[in-house]
């Protein structure tokens, strides 16, 4: 390519006087009385656009004066020290080629003004051109690269787990069915049930809710593994922290206890937040200024302090003693709802909490039963502002205890035969967790709704684009 990213120009990779070509989209343009036009050109490579100064001596100056927000341009220009206050460097245009006009500036949905976040959601194909979604997108990228780097540096192997599966990992029945059967002419068995033996895979299959069970198989051979991929939940939750399609990071570690992976989660979160502070200072400054004034402090505090560990049973006592009237009443045995999680993380601790040892009746079949026979070695990490961002556990590695648990939950050994094999052939204690990627991005940026931190959100009733 013959052109260079705007970020390279603004960061001074080219000397004053050097000629460069940048290509991108016009954010704003204004004319000065002195016969110049100032064009702010952005290309997504950093938060700021570069200021291009076009003189009226340019042969297509009349066209340049018709440029509006959203037009695409290719600018060849000389790097120049800026006389204005803002950026140190700007560009003196030698040539401004107009690549694509905006057909009617009055109807351009991303005209340069403040739009509500709901309005931007309705224009998901154009919203990446805005400051806020551009910044979210770069932070999202920074976080995912940092996550892979963290695991790579620590000797983990990335496993691609399947998206189509026959297992309901979480046992919650919130799965999207995958089928090639003709819905209007479903084959039926003698018992009057849909005959899935005639379906593509010869059985009922779904979009995965978690890669965990599959990644456990590789853990039982490669020791330290993780998945990072899309997961799907058909839960009808219209909240600011639920998506029907979201990305999850799931490490799984052999010979590791619950506390080992709680430590891993803490190290990982600190590593990736530090990466954001170091690599995306421009975007974080914007979030702190416009979205959440605490955005940078929060990350700095997370990086420099130890996570508080708390037992579920103690949390129930704290909630009861809080004097708060919660919408969902608190008693031992209930699942913590978002109001409880937020009270604990925001008001009680004022930072992330590793919540451990939940009642077994509210948790999944694969979690390791504790000696009290009432709780399981499960953990959630609760973060201020968003609540649960991580769910994990030590897995039940004892075949006899696992079989008892399957029976108790009405699940068949046959359906989990390959999973049971891991307990039959060289079983080992092992633990892992799942980090909801969109919840992490929301936490880091201070964005209020996970729909605004994923390019194309999928929620009940919404699969546009
Ligand atoms: O707690 P969950 O359901 O755990 C699992 O799926 C385990 N199999 C993970 C493991 O141990 N390998 O989900 C893990 C995380 C949650 O803490 C949350 O951050 C996120 O996934 N999550 C969602 N994020 C957005 N929309 C949804 N509908 C989500 N459901 C879960």
pLDDT of residue 168: 79
Binding site membership of 77 for ligand 1 (Cβ less than 6 Å): no
What are the CA-CA distances from residue 159 to residues 54, 174, 222, 414 (Å)?
51, 24, 10, 25
Could you say which of 3.30.930.10, 3.30.70.360, 3.30.70.240, 3.40.50.620 is the CATH number of the domain covering 131-172+209-452?
3.30.930.10
Q: What is the pLDDT of residues 133-163, one digit of tens each?
A: 999 999 999 999 999 999 999 999 999 999 9
Give helix 281-290 / helix 295-304 axis angle, nearest 10°: 120
294-303: per-residue pLDDT in tens?
Answer: 999 999 999 9
DSSP class of 450:
G
CA of 391 to the centre of ligand 1 (A): 6
Which stretch of 40-49, 52-61, 171-180, 341-350 has the lowest confidence by average pLDDT? Answer: 171-180
Atom of ligand 1 lying closest to residue 215 CA:
12
- Number of residues that make up the chain: 465
Give 82's strand partners: none
Whether 250 lines ligand 1, by a CB cut-off of 6 Å, is yes
In the reported structure, the alpha carbon of residue 161 is separated from the centroid of ligand 1 by a whole-number distance in angstroms of 16
Distance, in Å, from the CA atom of 389 to the CA atom of 391, rounded to the nearest integer, reads 7
CATH architecture of 6-100: Beta Barrel (2.40)
Q: Is the CB of 248 under 6 A from ligand 1?
A: yes
Helix (H, G, I), strand (E, B) or coil at 284: helix
Please state, in angstroms and rounded to a whole number, the distance separating the CA atoms of residues 199 and 180.
6
Prediction pTM value: 0.96
Cβ 206 vs Cβ 231: under 8 Å? no
pLDDT the model gives residue 206? 96
In angstroms, the CA 339 to CA 385 distance is 10
Mean of per-residue pLDDT scores for the chain: 95
pLDDT of residue 417 exceeding 80, the answer is yes
212 lines ligand 1 (CB under 6 A): yes
Torsion of CA 228, 232, 236, 242, to 10 degrees: 20
Tens of pLDDT along 166-203? 987 777 778 999 999 999 999 999 999 999 999 999 99
Segments of 104-244 assigned E as strands: 157-158, 164-165, 177-178, 205-207, 224-232
Domain boundaries, the chain: 6-100, 131-172+209-452
Cα of 170 vs centre of ligand 1, distance in Å, is: 9
Nearest to 14 by CA among 93, 97, 91, 94: 91
Probe target for ligand 1 pocket from 439, 442, 447, with the most ligand atoms within 8 Å of CB: 439
Q: Do 252 and 215 contact (CB within 8 A), yes or no?
A: yes
CB distance 388 to ligand 1 below 6 Å: yes
- Max Cα–Cα distance, the chain, nearest Å: 86
Q: Closest by alpha carbon to 240, among 394, 118, 399?
A: 118
Handedness of CA 76, 80, 84, 86 (dihedral sign): positive
Residue 94 pLDDT level (bands cut at 50, 70, 90): very high
Distance CA 348, CA 211 (A): 33
Q: What is the phi/psi pair of residue 224, to 5°?
A: -125, 110
- Nearest residue (by CA) to ligand 1, atom 28, is 242
Q: How far is the CA of 301 from the centre of ligand 1 (A)?
A: 25
What local confidence, expressed as pLDDT, does residue 450 receive? 97
State whether the beta carbon of 156 lies less than 6 angstroms from ligand 1.
Answer: no
Residues near 83 by beta carbon (within 8 Å), at least 6 away in sequence: none
| Tokens describing residue 341 | 């999680």
**Phi and psi angles of residue 81, each rounded to the nearest 5 degrees, phi first:** -70, 135
Ligand 1 mutation target, pool 232, 249, 261, 391, most atoms within 8 A of CB: 391
Tell which atom from ligand 1 comes closest to the C-alpha of 233: 28
Tens of pLDDT, residue by residue over 112-126, are 788 999 999 999 999
| 221 bridge partner residues | none
Q: If DSSP codes are grouped into helix, strand and coil, which group holds residue 359?
A: strand
pLDDT on residue 268: 98
């Amino acid at each position: 390519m013959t052109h260079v990213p705007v970020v390279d120009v603004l960061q001074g990779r080219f000397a004053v006087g050097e000629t460069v070509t940048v290509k991108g989209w016009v954010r704003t343009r204004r004319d000065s009385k002195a016969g110049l036009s100032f064009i702010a050109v952005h290309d997504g490579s950093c938060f700021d656009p570069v200021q291009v100064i076009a003189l009226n001596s340019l042969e297509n100056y009349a066209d340049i004066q018709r440029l509006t927000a959203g037009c695409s341009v290719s600018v060849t220009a000389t790097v120049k020290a800026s006389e204005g206050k803002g950026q140190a460097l700007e560009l003196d245009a030698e040539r401004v080629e107009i690549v694509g006009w905006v057909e009617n500036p009055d109807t351009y949905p991303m005209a340069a003004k403040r739009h509500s976040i709901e309005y931007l959601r309705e224009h998901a194909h154009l919203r990446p051109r805005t400051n806020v979604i551009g910044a979210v997108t770069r932070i999202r990228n920074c976080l995912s690269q940092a996550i892979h780097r963290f695991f790579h540096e620590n000797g983990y192997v990335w496993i691609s787990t399947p998206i189509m599966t026959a297992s309901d990992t979480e046992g919650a029945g919130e799965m999207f069915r995958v089928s090639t059967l003709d819905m209007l002419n479903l084959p039926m068995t003698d018992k009057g049930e849909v005959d899935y033996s005639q379906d593509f895979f010869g059985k009922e299959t779904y979009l995965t809710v978690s890669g965990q069970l599959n990644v456990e198989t590789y853990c039982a051979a490669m020791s330290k593994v993780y998945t990072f991929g899309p997961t799907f939940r058909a839960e009808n939750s219209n909240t600011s922290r639920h998506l029907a399609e979201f990305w999850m990071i799931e490490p799984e570690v052999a010979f590791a206890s619950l506390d080992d992976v709680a430590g891993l989660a803490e190290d990982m979160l600190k590593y990736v937040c530090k990466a954001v502070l170091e690599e995306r200072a421009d975007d974080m400054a914007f979030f702190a200024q416009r979205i959440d004034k605490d955005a940078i402090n929060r990350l700095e505090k997370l990086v420099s302090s130890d996570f508080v560990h708390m037992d579920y049973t103690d949390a129930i006592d704290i909630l009861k003693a809080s004097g708060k009237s919660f919408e969902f009443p608190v008693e031992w045995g209930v699942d913590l709802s978002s109001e409880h999680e937020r009270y604990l993380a925001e008001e009680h601790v004022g930072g992330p909490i590793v919540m451990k040892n939940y009642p077994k009746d509210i948790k999944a079949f694969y979690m390791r039963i504790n000696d009290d026979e009432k709780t399981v070695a499960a953990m959630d990490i609760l973060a201020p502002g968003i609540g649960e961002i991580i769910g994990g556990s030590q897995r039940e590695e004892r075949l006899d205890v696992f079989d008892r648990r399957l029976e108790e939950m009405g699940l068949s050994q046959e359906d989990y035969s390959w999973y049971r094999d891991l307990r039959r052939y060289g079983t080992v204690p092992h633990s892992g967790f799942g980090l909801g990627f969109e919840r992490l991005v929301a936490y880091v940026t201070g964005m209020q709704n996970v729909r605004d931190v994923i390019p194309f959100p999928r929620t009940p009733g919404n699969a546009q684009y």
